[in-house]
Amino acid sequence: MKLKVCWMYHDIMDLYGDKGNMMVLTKRCKDRGIDIEIDTCAIGEKKDLSKFHLMFLGGGADKEQHMLIDDLLARKNNIQKAMDSNTFIFLVCGGYQLFGQYYIDANNEKIEGLKFFDYYTESGDNGKRCIGNIAIQCNLDGEEFMAVGFENHGGQTRNVATPFGKVIAGYGNNFEDKIEGFYNGKVLGTYMHGPLFPKNPKIADFVIYKSLTKEYPDLKFSDLLPLDDSLENKAKNQMLKRLHAI
């Protein structure tokens, strides 16, 4: 098996160590004998995203989102082609915001999104931010489990019909709704940094599985070779205890 990944804007969208997600994917694939190839795509680079099994776009501050938005919008048709051909898409923070309708930044400037989904993001009142460790209850294609991460965002994302999970501790998409992220079967968006995958090996494996089904449609999540996740789960459970989530 081979997993081809395109890491979008790797040079500017890497807030809070999001590159750690790619490191975890690489290790978990190699431990299973899955050949993984991580390519990158910077502003102005020509890439056909539909040729990849997984597209990853990490987080960045307002400055970085302004820097890349014209390039990202110019790729809209190609991103749609990728989604139509079952390329899985994993988005963190700023990347998650930009797949929605729009984002209004801290200076009240509007950044038009790709408008693939109905959600939108506005700044918190008086500069308030959702900051701290977070725990959520997830349901990914029937797989129920808890996940932990770290969030630090002023943006308040609303109108999310299909969230990634229910907030147990922390904030999530905004101060009020107690839901976190977005998941529709093909796209997973989240505010959870940390990075997300090291303390949540099940999510890392789920992304590997969903990405591989583009080329191996009969693959089941349970078909992935089990790995020893005792250390990772110990770290996750320690955070869940600190958050009084278990």
3-state secondary structure 134-158: EEEEEEECCEEEEEEEEEEECEEEE
Active site (annotated) includes residue 6: no
**Per-residue confidence at 126, pLDDT binned at 50, 70, 90?**
confident
Answer whether residue 124 shows pLDDT above 90: no
Distances (CA, A) of 33 to 2, 19, 26, 76, 206: 9, 21, 11, 34, 17
The pLDDT of residue 16 is 83
The pLDDT of residue 233 is 96
Distances (CA, A) of 221 to 54, 116, 118, 216, 244: 16, 27, 29, 12, 30
% of the chain surpassing 70 pLDDT: 100
The pLDDT of residue 117 is 98
Domain topology for 2-242 = Rossmann fold (3.40.50)
**Of these residues, 93, 130, 138, 153, which one is catalytic?**
93
Residues 6+ apart with CB under 8 A from 105: 62, 65, 66, 111, 123
| pTM (whole model) above 0.85 | yes
**Per-residue confidence at 15, pLDDT binned at 50, 70, 90?**
confident
Span 182-216, pLDDT tens digits: 999 999 999 999 899 999 999 999 999 999 999 99
Task: Give the mean pLDDT of 18-39.
Answer: 97
**Per-residue confidence at 90, pLDDT binned at 50, 70, 90?**
very high
Span 58-84, pLDDT tens digits: 998 889 999 999 999 999 999 999 999
**Which amino acid would we find at residue 53?**
H
The pLDDT of residue 60 is 87
Both tokens of residue 63?
């400055």
Q: Which residues fall in the annotated binding site for substrate? A: 129
% of the chain surpassing 90 pLDDT: 90
**Of these residues, 10, 53, 153, 193, which one is catalytic?**
193
The pLDDT of residue 101 is 98
Q: Which residues fall in the annotated binding site? A: 129
**Per-residue confidence at 106, pLDDT binned at 50, 70, 90?**
confident
Span 128-182, pLDDT tens digits: 999 999 999 999 999 899 999 999 999 999 999 999 999 999 999 999 999 999 9
- 4 forms beta bridges with 37
